[in-house]
Chains A and B, each alone.
Chain A
Amino acid sequence: GEDVEQSLFLSVREGDSSVINCTYTDSSSTYLYWYKQEPGAGLQLLTYIFSNMDMKQDQRLTVLLNKKDKHLSLRIADTQTGDSAIYFCAEYRFYNQGGKLIFGQGTELSVKP
């Protein structure tokens, strides 16, 4: 994806916290998203944050947004083996007649028992 960057791999132990980071470039983005992709499946929306928020918490998920640095992170508390997947951050941009999601390359999270 253009202009949205993520590290490609992260490995953690079961029970630890995982932090997946993302940087983006368009300061006018209104919404930023985290999607989860399990092997052979489509993308599942995990959570999103509006650009006027700094933090959003949803059960084990915490999203932090630093607009000044254009940095987004997803923290997964008490990571489980079922959390192993590829995680994509995406920013929403207006585009021609509609809008589009600009995706990062995806971070493959591996959770070891």
Chain B
Amino acid sequence: NAGVTQTPKFQVLKTGQSMTLQCAQDMNHEYMSWYRQDPGMGLRLIHYSVGAGITDQGEVPNGYNVSRSTTEDFPLRLLSAAPSQTSVYFCASSDLQGGGYGYTFGSGTRLTVV
């Protein structure tokens, strides 16, 4: 089915470890973004991209890196995991930068840092 695919679905990391959360979409969307969801706080934007080779920071970018080498993929890297990064991470994509069409969300990656 067309949509946004995130892997892995669950991950446990030790403090200080690094890892990459994968996100891929097959809808030829130009716009992709990463959000984190924490209880009682809704979703907060980490990084986003308006096309291949173009990325920018969102509200909470510290501790995360992104790159966009293709239209389809937008991986999120945790450089040195901290317990504060325990969260559910959602990747989302859209055409027309989301206006009027909303975003298509992946099913999420639940990350626990111990």
A residues engaging B (CB < 8 A)? 1-2, 4, 8, 30-31, 33, 35, 40-45, 48, 50, 88, 92, 95-101, 103-106
Contacts and interface: CB of A to CB of B under 8 A. Distances in A.
Interface string B84-114: 0000001010000111101111111000000
Contact of A88 (B43, B44, B106, B107): B43
B33 interface: yes
Secondary structure dominating the interface of A: strand
B27 to A, nearest CB: 13
Given A48-B102, A96-B56, A97-B56, A105 B40 contact: yes
B99 A105 contact: no
Contacts of A45: 102-104
Contacts of A4: 42
A45 B94 CA distance: 12
A20 to B, nearest CB: 14
A99 B32 CA distance: 10
Interface string B31-59: 10101000011111100101000101111
B56 A42 contact: no
Given A42-B108, A43-B90, A44-B105, A31 B44 contact: no
